Structure 1
Amino acid sequence: MKLEKILDKLGSLEKNSFIKIIDNIISKNPKNSKEINKILSSSDKGLKSVDNQNISKIFALTSNEFLEHTKCEFQEITSQLDILIDIIIRDGNCIMKQDWFSRLYETEIKQLKNKIKALNTDFENEKSELSETRKRDYKIYKSCLDTAYYNDEENNREAKISPDELSIILTLSKQLGLSQEEIKLINYSILPIKKLDIQDVIKGLKNIGVIFYSTKENTIYVADEMVRLLRKIRKKEIAEKFYRRTLKLLREPIINQISKDHNIDRKLTYSQKIEEIIKEGISFTDLLLSDIYKAGSTLTEKKKTLNELCEKGLNIKNLKGSTLDDKISSLITYFDNIERDEKVGISVDGFDKLLSELNTSLPKLNKQIKEQFELQDEFVLKADFLLDYNIKPRDILDLITKVDRTKFIKDNGVKQRGDDILNILEHYKDVENLYLENYENVAYRNLNLLKENGIIIKESELGLKFEELTCVIFNGLGFNVDDTFKNQLNTKKDMMDILLNLGNQEIIIVECKTSKERGYNKFSSVSRQLKSYQNLALKNDLRIVKILLIAPEFSDDFVTDCEMDTEMNLSLITASTLSNIFEAFKTSKYSEFPHVLFRDIVINEERILKAISK
């Protein structure tokens, strides 16, 4: 769930710890202080009075400083922050009831204790599957960590690891190729692990700003933006679902070799080994640099293998980068962009239909998804519910076995030739709703993002498509989009885009403008155009209630020119504002949007959303 949406759910006390940390960062003149001050200048009461959308923007601008703030907490080795963060950044754990979090925490502590016991046994057992080289690596790391921690006691000081010692330990673990899980096991074999009171755990995480806790709902929330930041701290470059998607493309001998290198039981099934590799926290970069290739592979062969994995397996054409490191970095960026994108690849309605038919064809899937993502609800195959957890259609389809996918495809008349997953996504695309979800991208003429979101369209068609979608939105708002009347009025010289007929000779004129450039800044030309439409309507004895101009955004100069115009009753609406009004209207009590709310120069989205939600 996005940070802004979580903040909307909470009271001021529940946001307080987070706000204090951001406030403290701002007071220290962070890197993006100019941009932050621009946002804060609209409020004379400081950060606490800033709206949730702008708090979210400020968090994005201070994310590097927040990262450093959180890293400092790791110096307190008894905090168990590594264990707790590994729980809350797992796919599906961003929203949890307190009792569910408590259960996950207890399970994690129990499993860690068992693994530590098994590791200590492997140290002593000469016949263990742990290689002598790996035993040596573990012993080196353990000895260094032991010295770093207990050398304070020898000098009559409290045992802890200093920042300098920590940086050396981290460098050592990287050079030895230890996974996050291996590091964790060795750490807690030196410092005995204790189960903490869950209220203290929640309070601690809340105080350092990484979670929010709603006392009313007894629920923990971790923002999507925070999950990405915490992953950086734990050196996990991509979400588990993308790691799983990549691992499933590897042959079992490769998975076995990775398992052997990191002390994972090779008697487990193929799928279980993949889950254990993910839990181990093995670096995705290291995996693609060396672990997935045959012994003795040349650099050229490695590049070829990685290219084939991306093109044939992940359907990523022309992965950027000339070196192996560059290609891996491009792949990580690709996954990061997919995760950040709020669009789901098909429409939300299409996602709901897909889930409903999956549930019919594969009745065990609900339980599988529930267990895979550690979800508490009994029935989880609901689009809105899953999207709150940032779980998208592709993430669900990735978990379905080939046999079950084939059955589903046959049951539901999906095309059988080609890639199963892409065929299913295409089948449930629901084009009109998908376009509406990409309304702002059409306005910005962003062909690349449209393509990534499953929309193929020529650039020359974008202007007309934006106009068509705007008509759909105004129809959805209950207006009479009167094309017949518009065509009667239009001349070869003056052709208005949209006419809303209010009856009794009253109309609203709507003009649509797409623009690749940031900040629409062509007032003089558009004002001449709109005035000619106004004159055309007045000649036909019509009363113009309002003229609306819709564009992706407007420059400050454009807004100023609009404010100075005395001849037109003109209001400006950004595409994102109109889209958000349309979404809010669907759940409002109104059957027709009250057009009197269109009274600002630049339409105030927040005010309108509040008005129609009453």
Structure 2
Amino acid sequence: MKLEKILDRLSSIEKNSFIKIIDNIISSNKDIAKQVEKILVPTSKSIKSVDNQNIAKIFDLTSPEFMDFIKAEFQEASSQLDILIDIITRDGNCIMKQDWFSRLYDAELKQLKVKIKNLSSEFENDKSELSESRKRDYKIYQSCLSTAFHNDVANNREAKITSDELSIILTLSKVLGLSQEEIKLINYSILPVKKTEILDVVNNLKNIGVIFYSKKENTIFVADEMVRLLRKVRKKEVADKFYRRTLKLLREPIINSIAKKHNIDRKLSYSEKIEEIIKEGVPYTDLLLNDIYKEGINLTEKKKTLNELCEKGLLIPNLKGSTLNEKIDSLIQYFEAVEKDEKVGISIDGYEKLLTELNKSLPALNKNLKDHFELQDEYVLKADFLLDYNIKPRDILDLIDKADIEKFKKDNGVKLRGDDILNILEHYKDVENLYLENYENVAYRNYNQLKENGIQIKESELGLKFEELTRVIFKGLGFNVDEQLKQELNTSKDLMDILINLGKNEIIIIECKTSKESGYNKFSTVSRQLKSYQNLSLKNNLRIVKILLVAPEFSDDFVTDCEMDVEMNLSLLTASTLLNIYEAFKESKYQEFPYVLFRDIVINQERIIKALSK
């Protein structure tokens, strides 16, 4: 769930720890303070009283410093932050009841103790499958960590790993090629695992700003933005779902080789080994630099193998970068962009239909997903529910066995030839709703993002498509979009985009403008255009109740020019505001949108949504 959406559900007290940390970061960094000031200027408020949308923007600005703050918390030897972060950053654990979190914490500690015991026995067992070189790596790391931790005790000081010691140990673990799980097991073989009361755990995490806790709902929330930050703290470069997508493209001998290197049982099934590799926290970069290739392969062949993996397997053409590291960085950035994008690849309605039909064809899927994502609800195949957990259609389909995918395709008339998952997504796309969900991308003429979200359209057609979608939205708001009257009024020179007939010779004129540039800034051109529409309407004895200009955004100069204009009753409406108003209207009691709410120069989204909810 996005940070802004979580903040909307919380009281000011429940946000306090998080806001306090950000406030401290701003106070101690002049450069950040200047950037934050630009966000706060229009309202002249302190961060404590700013709206939730802007708090999310401010967090984005301060996230590198926030990450440094969390890293500093790792120096507290008893913090168990590695264990706790591994729990809360798993797909499906971003929203949890407190008792469910308590169960996951208990289960994690029990499993950790068993694994530590097994690792200790592996050290002593001459017949262990661990190679001597790997045992040596483990022992080197263990000895260095033990020295760093216990030298304080020897000097009559509190046992603590300093920042200098920590940086050396992290470097050592990287050079030895240890996974996050291997590091964790060795760490806790030296520092015994102690169970902490769950209320203390929740309070500690809340006080360092990584979770929010709603007492009213008895629920823990971890924002999507925070999950991404915490993964970076734990050196996890991509989400589990993207790691899984990559591993599933590898042949079993390669998977076995990775499993052997990191002490994973090779007797497990192919799918189980993949899940264990993900849990191990094997760095994604290390995997693609070394682990997925045959022995003795040269650098040119590695590049060729990675390109084929991306182009034929992940369906990502033209991966940027000339070196292997640059290509891997490009792939990681690609997955980051996909994760941040709120669009789901198909429409919400299409997602809902897909889940309904998956449940009919594969009755065991609900339980499988519930167990896999550690979800508390009994029935989880609901689009809105899964999207709150940032689980998209592709993420669901990636978890289904090939045999079940084949059954589902046959049951539901999905095209059989070609890529299975792409065929299923195409089958449930629902184009009109998909376009509406991408309304803002159309407004910004964001051609690449539209293509990424499954929309095929010529760039030259985006202006007309924006006008068409705006027309659909105003019809959805209950207005009479009168095409006939518009055609009667339009001349060869004056062509209105949209005309709303309110009856009794009253109309609203709507003009639609797309722009790639940040901030629409052509007031003189558009004002001449709108005034000619106004004169045309007045000549035909029509009263103009309102003129609306819809664009992706407006520059400060444009807004100022609009405020100074006394000839037109003009209001400015951003594409995102219009779409959010439309969504709020669908949930409201109104049959037709009360157009009197369009009274600001720049339409205020919050005020209108609040009015619709009454």
Quickly name the TM-score band, shorter chain normalised.
over 0.9
Match of 1:155 in 2: 155
Match of 2:517 in 1: 517
Report deviation, 1:30.
5.0
Q: Are 1:536 and 2:497 matched, yes or no?
A: no
Match of 2:46 in 1: 46
Match of 1:425 in 2: 425
Distance 1:45 1:450, change over 3 A: closer
User: What is the identity, as a one-letter code, of the residue corresponding to 1:102?
Assistant: S
1:108-123 superposed matches below 5 A: 108-123=108-123
Q: Are 1:326 and 2:297 matched, yes or no?
A: no
Distance across 1 between alignment mates of 2:393 and 2:410: 19
Match of 1:195 in 2: 195
1:391-430 superposed matches below 5 A: 391-430=391-430
User: What is the identity, as a one-letter code, of the residue corresponding to 2:118?
Assistant: A
User: What is the identity, as a one-letter code, of the residue corresponding to 1:569?
Assistant: N
Distance across 1 between alignment mates of 2:568 and 2:58: 36
Could you tell me whether the CA contact under 8 Å between 1:94 and 1:221 is conserved in 2? yes
Could you tell me whether the CA contact under 8 Å between 1:450 and 1:456 is conserved in 2? yes
Give a deviation string over 1:330-356, Cα, whole Å, max 9, x none.
Answer: 110111000000000000000000000
User: What is the identity, as a one-letter code, of the residue corresponding to 1:147?
Assistant: T
What SS does the aligned partner of 1:442 have? Answer: helix
Q: TM-score, normalised by structure 1?
A: 0.99
Report deviation, 1:77.
1.4
Could you tell me whether the CA contact under 8 Å between 1:546 and 1:571 is conserved in 2? yes
Match of 2:180 in 1: 180
Distance across 2 between alignment mates of 1:45 and 1:587: 31
User: What is the identity, as a one-letter code, of the residue corresponding to 1:375?
Assistant: L
Q: Are 1:443 and 2:467 matched, yes or no?
A: no
1:202-601 superposed matches below 5 A: 202-601=202-601
Distance across 2 between alignment mates of 1:323 and 1:590: 58
What SS does the aligned partner of 1:62 have? Answer: helix
Match of 1:37 in 2: 37
Report deviation, 1:45.
4.4
What SS does the aligned partner of 2:593 have? Answer: coil
User: What is the identity, as a one-letter code, of the residue corresponding to 1:529?
Assistant: Q
Percent of matched pairs sharing the same residue: 79
Distance across 1 between alignment mates of 2:177 and 2:459: 48
Could you tell me whether the CA contact under 8 Å between 2:498 and 2:511 is conserved in 1? yes
Give a deviation string over 1:285-333, Cα, whole Å, max 9, x none.
Answer: 0000000000000111111111111111111111111111011011101
Match of 2:25 in 1: 25
Report deviation, 1:551.
0.6
Give a deviation string over 1:233-284, Cα, whole Å, max 9, x none.
Answer: 0000000000001001100110100000000011111111111100000000
Match of 1:124 in 2: 124
Q: Are 1:61 and 2:61 matched, yes or no?
A: yes
Q: TM-score, normalised by structure 2?
A: 0.99
Distance across 1 between alignment mates of 2:222 and 2:289: 31
User: What is the identity, as a one-letter code, of the residue corresponding to 1:36?
Assistant: V
Match of 1:14 in 2: 14
Distance across 1 between alignment mates of 2:157 and 2:417: 69
Give a deviation string over 1:567-589, Cα, whole Å, max 9, x none.
Answer: 00000001111011001111011
Distance across 1 between alignment mates of 2:35 and 2:477: 35
How many residues are paired up? 614
User: What is the identity, as a one-letter code, of the residue corresponding to 1:145?
Assistant: L
Report deviation, 1:48.
1.2
User: What is the identity, as a one-letter code, of the residue corresponding to 1:553?
Assistant: E
Distance across 2 between alignment mates of 1:416 and 1:32: 53
Distance across 1 between alignment mates of 2:312 and 2:572: 46
Report deviation, 1:31.
3.8
Report deviation, 1:35.
1.9
Could you tell me whether the CA contact under 8 Å between 1:513 and 1:551 is conserved in 2? yes
Give a deviation string over 1:147-187, Cα, whole Å, max 9, x none.
Answer: 10000111111111111111111111111111000000000
Report deviation, 1:611.
0.9
Distance across 2 between alignment mates of 1:254 and 1:31: 47
User: What is the identity, as a one-letter code, of the residue corresponding to 1:470?
Assistant: T
Distance across 2 between alignment mates of 1:42 and 1:539: 40
Could you tell me whether the CA contact under 8 Å between 2:523 and 2:561 is conserved in 1? yes
Report deviation, 1:46.
1.2
User: What is the identity, as a one-letter code, of the residue corresponding to 1:370?
Assistant: K
Distance across 2 between alignment mates of 1:551 and 1:249: 43
Could you tell me whether the CA contact under 8 Å between 1:43 and 1:49 is conserved in 2? no
Distance across 2 between alignment mates of 1:232 and 1:116: 25
Could you tell me whether the CA contact under 8 Å between 1:30 and 1:65 is conserved in 2? no
Distance across 2 between alignment mates of 1:410 and 1:330: 37
Report deviation, 1:51.
0.2
Distance across 2 between alignment mates of 1:262 and 1:31: 43
Could you tell me whether the CA contact under 8 Å between 2:415 and 2:423 is conserved in 1? yes
What SS does the aligned partner of 1:463 have? Answer: helix
Cα-Cα RMSD: 0.7
Distance across 2 between alignment mates of 1:295 and 1:459: 46
Distance across 2 between alignment mates of 1:249 and 1:321: 22
User: What is the identity, as a one-letter code, of the residue corresponding to 2:170?
Assistant: L
Distance across 2 between alignment mates of 1:369 and 1:31: 45
